[in-house]
Amino acid sequence: MPPIPDHPMRYRLANEMHARPFPVMGAPAAVSYIAIKRPEDAVTRDRSQDLAHLAALLERRGAPAPEPGATHWYGQIGQHWLKWEQHTEFVTYTAIREGAVTRPFDPAQFEIFPEDWLAEAPGQRLTSALMHIAPRPASDDGLTADLDDWFVAESLAVSKVLDDAAVVAGDFRIDPNGHLRFAIFPSADTGRRRIGRIVQRLCEVETYKAMSMLGFARARRLQPDLNSLDSRLTRVMSTMSDKAAPPEATLQDLLQISAQLETIAAQSSFRFDATGAYGALVDQRIATLRETRFKGRQSFAEFMMRRYEPAMRTVTATRSRLASMSERSVRASNLLRTRVDVARSAQNQALLESMDRRADLQLRLQHTVEGLSVVAISYYAISLVGYLAYPLAQATGLSKPMLLALATLPVVAAVWWMIRRLRAKVK
């Protein structure tokens, strides 16, 4: 093959497809998981702080530091295997410890993450979970008592996953120690990689669920503002039908409402878009588990349909309502602006008619002044003619008054003709 230069991003993009491998583990095992997110009011997120925070944990445990600019890390720290991933809005830590578990969901297993190290995290805990992984008993009847003891029965979701490769359970409730609980019971023939994929899927379901619920919280906070703006918009639109209402003042009210709606939309668009993306990921991750019912218990998909989907529909409805109100305000502004333009056009038309009347009046006055000018100029011209023709009066024997009388008509006609000619040239 002839040499050809590689695109500078070729290897980096190809390696990205394999950058986040699934963890590998067997049963029994205990998993501690935490997701840390930058606060909502943070303007920017310094990714180097996330990497430095990971490096501080690895240094405590005597593990090698991550490479500069790394977005993922997987390695052993003491008796645990740690998997770290950096995402767009959050980072996740998954600590895996294989071996017999004396106490399921023991809060002591979270001590892999020291309290003072957690206090220095560049963000806030989005979610955390403890996972108990134990071999599946020969009879599923033995699981019922443990599940009722570990979880809240009203919220418990249990199902068989991946063609009966394991039984997974969780109630998505925060226990007294501040963690969620998930139990996984893999079958005897389930491989270590498949167990790791199940653990990864459950972590992703919980994290993406928590991230998408941030949009639900934003939607609930916006409801009072949207209700107030909706009422104001309705009142303004009702005022538009009143011809006595000044359109300029109504237009100013509409512009204020439109500006507030656009501000809310700009501040919420990213979170609502992210909520839709995270919600789709939750549904996708649950679908990949390929659930089947376990002893008549509700599955994870059913739990999400009853508890999670209404929240996502609320976000969708709020987003649609915000867009609808923006469109209404724009349409009302356009209608009112048209009304203002029509009123101004009528005013301009009346002004032009008034100017035409004044111009016509000025023209008539000009004609009147023109006639008077002919008389005045003719009077002085006849006087001049009288002085010029005075010597002729003695030669012809005519008196001066007679001579002026004879010159009056020609002089007036000449003056009138000259003024008419001058006006024609000006026009």
The CA distance from 328 to 330, in Å, is 5
Q: Are 104 and 92 in contact (CB under 8 A)?
A: no
Q: Are 291 and 160 in contact (CB under 8 A)?
A: yes
Q: Are 222 and 154 in contact (CB under 8 A)?
A: no
**Residue 267 sits in the same domain as residue 406:** no
CA 110 to chain centre: 37
**Residue 303 sits in the same domain as residue 217:** yes
Q: Which of 275, 218, 315, 284 is nearest to 89 (CA)?
A: 275
Whether residue 6 lies inside any domain: the answer is no
Whether residue 15 lies inside any domain: the answer is no
Whether residue 10 lies inside any domain: the answer is no
Whether residue 317 lies inside any domain: the answer is yes
pLDDT per residue as tens digits for the range 315-325: 999 999 999 99
Whether residue 40 lies inside any domain: the answer is yes
- Give the percent of the chain with pLDDT over 70: 90
Which range (122-126, 318-322, 365-369, 376-380) has the least confidence?
365-369
Dihedral sign computed on CA atoms, order 200, 203, 209, 214? negative
The CA distance from 312 to 275, in Å, is 8
- Coil, helix or strand for 162? coil
Residue 2 in this model has a pLDDT that exceeds 70: no
Q: Domain boundary residue among 299, 318, 350?
A: 350
* Average pLDDT value for residue range 376-398: 70
> Looking at residue 304, what DSSP letter applies?
I
The CA distance from 44 to 89, in Å, is 10
**Residue 309 sits in the same domain as residue 372:** no
**Residue 172 sits in the same domain as residue 287:** no
**Residue 340 sits in the same domain as residue 391:** no
Instruction: Give the structural domain span for 310.
Output: 212-350
pLDDT score recorded for residue 239: 79
Q: Which of 130, 108, 212 is nearest to 175 (CA)?
A: 130
H or E element, residue 37: strand 29-37
Tally the domains of the chain: 3
**Residue 314 sits in the same domain as residue 235:** yes
Q: Are 81 and 75 in contact (CB under 8 A)?
A: yes
pTM, rounded to two decimals = 0.78
Whether residue 125 lies inside any domain: the answer is yes
Q: Domain boundary residue among 350, 378, 393?
A: 350
pLDDT score recorded for residue 394: 63
Q: Which of 111, 110, 115, 114 is nearest to 128 (CA)?
A: 110
Whether residue 70 lies inside any domain: the answer is yes
User: 32 - beta bridge partners?
Assistant: 95, 130
Residue 369 in this model has a pLDDT that exceeds 70: no
Q: Are 30 and 101 in contact (CB under 8 A)?
A: yes
- Give the percent of the chain with pLDDT over 90: 53
Q: Which of 23, 291, 282 is nearest to 165 (CA)?
A: 291
Compute the C-alpha angle 11/15/21, nearest 5°.
Answer: 175
pLDDT score recorded for residue 114: 94
**Residue 218 sits in the same domain as residue 333:** yes
**Residue 154 sits in the same domain as residue 288:** no
pLDDT score recorded for residue 140: 80
pLDDT score recorded for residue 43: 46
**Residue 51 sits in the same domain as residue 178:** yes
pLDDT score recorded for residue 34: 97
Whether residue 204 lies inside any domain: the answer is no
Tell me the Cα Rg of the chain: 45
Q: Domain boundary residue among 350, 384, 404?
A: 350
pLDDT interval class at 367 (50, 70, 90): low
Strand 124-133 and strand 180-186: the pairing is: parallel
pLDDT score recorded for residue 421: 75
* Average pLDDT value for residue range 367-391: 71
The CA distance from 45 to 38, in Å, is 7
Beta-carbon neighbour count of residue 151 at 10 Å?
22
Of residues 88 and 117, the one with the higher pLDDT is: 117
pLDDT per residue as tens digits for the range 149-177: 999 999 999 999 999 999 999 999 999 99
Mean pLDDT of the chain: 86
pLDDT score recorded for residue 212: 95
Range with the largest mean pLDDT of 41-50, 105-114, 347-356, 390-399: 105-114
Residue 326 in this model has a pLDDT that exceeds 70: yes
**Residue 111 sits in the same domain as residue 65:** yes
Report CA-CA distances (Å) from 272 to 44, 206, 262, 307: 18, 18, 14, 19
pLDDT per residue as tens digits for the range 71-112: 889 999 988 999 999 998 999 999 999 998 889 999 999 999
pLDDT per residue as tens digits for the range 229-259: 999 888 888 877 776 667 777 778 888 888 8
State residue 282 phi and psi, 5-degree precision: -60, -50
**Residue 274 sits in the same domain as residue 399:** no
**Residue 221 sits in the same domain as residue 321:** yes
